[in-house]
Structure 1
Amino acid sequence: MTITHDLELARRMGGDLAVMLNGVIIEQGPAEDVLGNPQHAYTRCLIEADPAHWSAGSSRKAAGKPVLVAEGLGKSRGGQRLFSGQNLAVHPGEIIGVTGPSGCGKSTFGDILLSLLPPDEGTVRRGDDLPAIKFQKLYQDPPAAFPQRITLRRAISDLIKRHGLDAARIDSLMARLRLAPELLGRLPGEVSGGELQRFALLRVLLLDPVFLFADEPTSRLDLITQQETIELLVELAREQNCAVLIVSHDAELIRKVSDRQIRFEAERSENPPKNQRTPEVALA
């Protein structure tokens, strides 16, 4: 038995497929039948929420002074060369998508841009000496990003006090993120994964970032919640002129939302066999 949000995986595996909603199996049968001729409205919504069915967003050309510039970045780990000689200029409000196989250095690259990891070679410069707090990360595992023993209200309140933020913005942002006010009184483990990821986005937006590294931010979400979260992330980033670097294994998702795309190749040995190419990052 395999539990997955990936409809294409379910299709390829074949066999019987069951669709569950609120703890109840609402539709069941051969995978090709369920996905090819869904009977329940929720199943149809799931299929339509797959990134393959999204409309492509309007691309934005890079403009303005870069908020971040990386030059000649290189990193190795465990005897493997992840990447080298990589350059990237990130401009206000643009969406840059990053794809590639597991272990190829996607998350490492983003963490280096945020100065969470040091590069083995190269430099990262922030525009106009912007403070570190303006460069934020949205993690793929929402529960790990929140203290589990205090309510969400306390977690948000602590952020407000620590950085002297405007608490009046909370209500409007929560409404925009479709978060009910009563959720603030709950612990992180008492809300859904989609709701908690939207709280993580709320927390980041309160800081008015100029650059956001979203590291597989929807990998744990169902397709419908994923679509809602990504649409909100892109919409709010455009409005606030915040540059976003999105890492995802879903090449179709990246294609539909990005202004530019970066493809990381699989890692190779530090000493590759003769005539074997070293890893590359392809920027489209």
Structure 2
Amino acid sequence: MSQPVPPSWKDVGKSASDLLLKDYPIQGTSLEVKTITPSNVTFKVAGNKDDKSGTISGDIEGKYVDFNNGVTFTQAWTTSNLLRTQLELENQIAKGLKLDLATTLNPAKAAKSAILTAIYKQPSLHTRATVDLFKGPTFTADAVVGRDGFLVGAEGSYDVLSGAITRYAGAIGFSAPEYSITLHGLGNMSTFAASYYHRVSKDVDAGAKAVYDIKSTTGGVSLEVGTKMYLDNAAFVKAKINNSGVLCVGYTQALRPGVKAVFGLGLDTTRLNDPTAGPAAHKVGASFVFNA
């Protein structure tokens, strides 16, 4: 039986991460408007107001996709005067090979970066190699091997000038249509994270993540559990709580095709009766997305 292409290194354990991290806009208010032309050019304008600092940030982005030749070109300009350019070539040199060049430039500060990435995907194998051309230069590589649902992955970074491995990590897991389990060893094996995701039914998802940091001065394991429940085809609600007593609730509603509203609430349950608890303890936010 032919094996599927496993997820990339950054997507190992993605189901649990998305369940616990996405659709909780509790840091402020954001707006995203996206339009697409008949010639496959996508324009996106996004803005965000951070409630803690009060700052407003945004960016405007244009993306052109040539599906026939596997070429994608993206250009963005942010309110912090940062210019981002990305060029992607897929299946041009070899089948399953994707080349990605991402650059950033801040003209005011003369700061720049350029990251070249090569991604190669085949049944049972997903690899990536990245070179940060201006920093180090630093070479980073990762690979994930999968067979019959079992996943094994590793990542490492090498500083060319110092001739030393600066970072390494590993992961093992098992993925099935209804559930997945993942164990990560991160930060040079100083932090260990275990996560699971379970599709309980067609309307209910559940998941949890436990993190143990060897270098932590407080000791113990950080634990977070969450669930997602579909109310109908256009709405769902999410809730999660961690062992510090922080409870988050998110509600997502598709108002019409291409229009989505997300509302989030974060409560520190240990300070519900504290009259001095302010925005730092309890947070509320919203996100609006328009796709035309």
Q: Does the pair score TM above 0.5?
A: no
Question: Which structure has the higher relative contact order (CA within 8 Å, separation 6+)?
Answer: 1
From the two aligned structures, give the one with the greater strand fraction: 2
Tell which structure's C-alpha radius of gyration is larger.
2
From the two aligned structures, give the one with the greater helix fraction: 1
TM-score by length of 1: 0.23
TM-score by length of 2: 0.22
